[in-house]
Structure 1
Amino acid sequence: MDRRSFLKNAGLAGTGGATLLAAPAVAQERKEFTIVSSFPRDFPGLGMSAQRLSKRITELSNGRLQATYYAAGERVGAFDVFDEVASGNAQAYISADYYWVGKDPAFAYFTSVPFGMTMPEWNAWIKFKGGQELWDKVSGNFDLKALPCGGTGTQMGGWFNVEIESVDDLKGLKMRIPGLGSFVMSKLGVSVVSLPGGQIYENLVSGAIDAAEWVGPYNDYFMKFYEAAKYYYMAGMHEPGGGNSFGMNKVWWTSLTEWERTVIEAACMEENAAMNEEFLANNGIYLKKLVEDHGTQLRQFNEETWDAFGEAAIEVIEENRGQSALTAEIHDHYRAALTELGQFRKGAEITYSNQRNRVLGL
């Protein structure tokens, strides 16, 4: 089916006004498939987004694609979803692809990299500047096909049980932080710990770790990190975007009809926007609750610390770039797009928002 035929046959269904994709005239049998996730069930933000996407695929397909969803730990562990899908034991995962940098360092670019793209910039790169094609290359090496399916926006710098008044205060801290941001912190003397989201609280409360980053106020509030750490730093350098991935077994993906693939693409695109908008809508509300109801003390890293982050990040990214020819190709493409997008946004959107906030006293 070509795109014009598809658009011609698309329609509206239901009184709620939800746009549904018209099924092909010839009925085909229902296909059941399994989605595994790295995020907790019913968890505001990340967890609810994953559940919403799974339900939406079934809804948009008029029941043709029947998704069974498993949250982190219900079928496999949070960090085991990649292997579960690559092996064909499940058909799709919802996660963050920077968890897989140990398998290929190029995966970092398809979630977030330190001092990298913000969410609007990353989406522009993925959708319109060749990022998806590069993602297909690295995912394809593991028999996977990935699509963007959500984003948190710029994340907070993390929760600390001590104030960070200089970069020296980081030395010796045990901190939960994933992705290339963990390598940056390591260079600055932090002892990095890898933990899934569901295990951060218990480790922070027990003192097994001294600091942790998770996402932002909307998610962090429900994790109750304020019970274990007093200082909340905004913002972080490690995840300026925070994109999520709907990763599929490539054999399964190619077995689908064009209409079925279009349904999945449409659901992912819808949730990719919705999740980011949900975080933006709620972060301010829950930041206020953290401060006013729980005594959280907001802090910002000083410029000396930011400079140290920057120097370490440049080293880490160059080291990562040198890991393989494909990583170098993706990095160079990403960096060129970031320069172009960043320069325009600096002169337009960032100038405007800074002046707006100054004039309105925000």
Structure 2
Amino acid sequence: MSEQLERLNKLPLRANLRGLSPYGAPQLDVPILLNVNENTHGVPDDVQSAITEAVAKAATGLNRYPDREFTELREALAEYLGHGLGPENLWAANGSNEVLQQILQAFGGPGRKALGFPPTYSMYPLLASGTDTEYVRGVRADDYNLSAESAAGQVRDLAPNIVFLCSPNNPTGTGLGLDVVEAVYEAGEVSQAIVIVDEAYHEFVHDGTPSALTLLPGRERLIVSRTMSKAFALAGARLGYMAAAPEVTDAIRLVRLPYHLSAVTQATALAALHHREALMADVEDIKIQRDRIVAELTRMGLTPAASDSNYVFFGGLEDPHRVWQGLLEAGVLIRDVGIPGHLRVTAGTETETTVFLEALEALLAGQSPLSA
């Protein structure tokens, strides 16, 4: 046992937190970072200027608390999402993780349970533990897909209070059909389950793929969460949000911290929303690189999953850690998600993608790749 863990265990820590590890991905200083699904294109110059101007204006009033209801931001988010949503349907927090945490604070807790379908986003069980909510692990098919029949059956059998549906799913990148969401919602009627559809990567889906936002009318237990970290290239700004029935946002107000969204955060998010056309142009380029990765990995004899996200989950590797280490030594950091035979890579710029593909192909051929 490490000295740090010994010190931790001497504290009166809650029992359900003992032995857990905090969320984390390697933070290494290498030329090409493709491991945490960031938008590697960065914020365009004109958007940077708009954000700088907005933040400078907000700075003149930093002696005062920000708008507790972030009304202007909720209006802008509702306008961006469309689907007949109004500001009363929107809520935001410091990243979609805080949104999910607030949902669990309001609807989870001791004696309640949340259901997820691994492999999926690794924060779900950690958020559950942090709110003393039991986390129940459902199952997927061998190809990691989740059918409406299977998901609904598990909801009926397990009677959870909260259900996490990640679409596109992290780490596999595969989207869920709306039939799955509808079936899970109906199956959760008996336990009055809150159904969360985590659409953090929805802006990257293939054209014509519908959002669960279309299912919100008449479903007061349905929540759709989003983020500005990925498509909007604002991972460092920490702004996540959700759309739901007005009574759900009222429930979240019961657990939110006072003035939880800073004036700087609100100003940054508003400026980005007002200049989203430039940001969405980068999204289209990322989608091109993602599809390129899928095609090239298939050519190399690997088995990439169909992706609706800004990353590609791929298998067919005899020794994924050796490949991961070889790429790291070549200056390319991707993600080992702990699934045998698989790795995950973020779709970066055209140059970054080229370096990754060339290094990977060299490693598969038993050669040493060039250093990035």
State the TM-score, normalized to the length of structure 1.
Answer: 0.25
Larger fraction in helix: 1
State the TM-score, normalized to the length of structure 2.
Answer: 0.25
